[in-house]
Amino acid sequence: MSPARRPRITADERRARLAVRHHLAPASRAATVEEVAASLTALHGTDPATVHLAAGARLSDEAAPRGPVAAMERALYEDRSLIRMHGMRHTVFVFPAPLAPVVQSSTTHAVAARERATLVKHLTAGSTLDAEWLADVERSTLAALARRGEATATELARDEPRLREQFVYAPGTTYEQRQTVSSRLLRLLGTEARVVRGRPLGSWTSSQFRWAIAPPLPDIPPHEAQAALTRYWLASHGPATEADLTWWTGWRVTDVRRALKAVEAVEVDLDGGRTGHVLPDDTESTEPPAPWAAFLPALDPTPMGWQERDWYLDPAHRPALFDRSGNIGPTVWWNGRAIGAWAQRPDGEPVWRLLTDPGTEARKAVEAEAARLHAWLDGTRVTPRFRTPLERELSA
């Protein structure tokens, strides 16, 4: 008896899944920002503007006729249905609130332990500060934050002046720089889920946040949490390779393999001879949506969702669309492929360049998406935190 053949999922099928599951095709757009975040597992939050722009690309016009900002701010700062926190690869993400304890237990606890060890090491190198001193500053800072309810680092330093102390971070390396205790300590406490970012100072594009005491998160055994996160992620990103999941989570390969086994992931054949993984009930094909275009922001979770990207990105276009650290800039999409980049002129008007000729229908759809973006931005100019060659050229 011959062994059963593995299911095959083509690049065309993967692009159809991306369009529907990530709410990029117009007929599949989402009704709420919570639905957007859940469909992607997480929104990149390193650049504060990304969460708003990513939601704007995926919300229906009926759901957000004036853009996503008000809905996103409500979810983040009033309802707390979305949580901004450190997650995979020591990166800031915005997660659906129910997923926060899963991420913390599966990933961020380990990140926090490394972050604390690194901070103590650099704090004590070449200074009189030590771990006992840091622990005392922590207690005082958390007490001050509890009294205030919400505060900036500057406000907390008025209550605890030792937060203004400076030390040399990463001495003797190319990353060496002088930093204040407040910047590193608040980041560490956030990673440990003891404090949480509140509203930014200024507009939704600001990267300066207020802080508040974080509500307690239930503790989940790490292996159970890793399996749960893998299940969420495969539902939104499957099929994906083992290398994709290892890169996205930052876990060890042994952890990834254990999690894939725990969720009973099914192996499938991908184009190029690669082996992908999907959930057991996720091998059926997707109905291709009508042709679609999208303007996605820098660090958008769709292009940053996989390490192996040739099925949606021409390798020849990478130098123009990514910076040297592997961060993607603002991109223009057509039918599941990244085909160009966009930026904003000084007056806020979007400008773009296509790196391939997709045809008349595509160019008209791209123009319509540019107009949609321009309308809800309403004069707000967004400069990506990590700038790429083509975005710099276009914005100039």
Round to whole Å and give the CA distance between 320 and 309.
15
The dihedral sign for the CA sequence 197, 203, 207, 209: negative
Cβ neighbours around 172 below 10 Å, total: 9
Domain boundaries, the chain: 1-45+67-79+221-396, 98-213
Short-list 384, 391, 394, 388, CA closest to 323: 388
Assign 3 a pLDDT band (cuts: 50, 70, 90).
low
Which pLDDT score, from 0 to 100, does residue 4 have?
Answer: 66
Task: Encode pLDDT of 74-112 as tens digits.
Answer: 999 999 999 999 888 778 999 999 999 999 999 999 999
What letter does residue 252 receive in the DSSP assignment? -
Q: How far apart are the first and last CA of the chain?
A: 65
The mean pLDDT value of the chain amounts to 93
Phi-psi region of 202 (alpha: psi -120 to 50; beta: other; left: phi over 0): left
Task: Encode pLDDT of 281-308 as tens digits.
Answer: 999 999 999 999 999 999 999 999 999 9
Task: Encode pLDDT of 145-190 as tens digits.
Answer: 999 999 999 999 999 999 999 887 777 777 777 888 998 999 999 9
Residue 27, burial from CB neighbour count under 10 angstroms (0-12, 13-18, 19+): exposed
pLDDT at 1 over 60: no
Round to whole Å and give the CA distance between 53 and 51.
6
Phi-psi region of 391 (alpha: psi -120 to 50; beta: other; left: phi over 0): alpha
Task: Encode pLDDT of 57-79 as tens digits.
Answer: 999 988 888 889 999 999 999 99
The dihedral sign for the CA sequence 321, 28, 68, 42: negative
User: What is the arithmetic mean of pLDDT over 206-211?
Assistant: 89
246-249 — which CB contacts under 8 Å span 24+ positions? 246/307, 247/306, 247/307, 248/88, 248/89, 248/305, 248/306, 248/307, 249/88, 249/89, 249/106, 249/107
Cβ neighbours around 358 below 10 Å, total: 19
Which pLDDT score, from 0 to 100, does residue 126 have?
Answer: 64
The dihedral sign for the CA sequence 68, 71, 75, 77: positive
Assign 2 a pLDDT band (cuts: 50, 70, 90).
very low
Task: Encode pLDDT of 257-285 as tens digits.
Answer: 999 999 999 999 999 999 999 999 999 99
- Percentage of the chain modeled with pLDDT above 70: 98
Contacts of 76 (CB under 8 A, 6+ apart): 51, 82, 83, 84, 94
The pairing of strands 8-9 and 266-270 is parallel
Round to whole Å and give the CA distance between 124 and 134.
10
Task: Encode pLDDT of 358-382 as tens digits.
Answer: 999 999 999 999 999 999 999 899 9
Which pLDDT score, from 0 to 100, does residue 266 have?
Answer: 97
Round to whole Å and give the CA distance between 265 and 280.
6
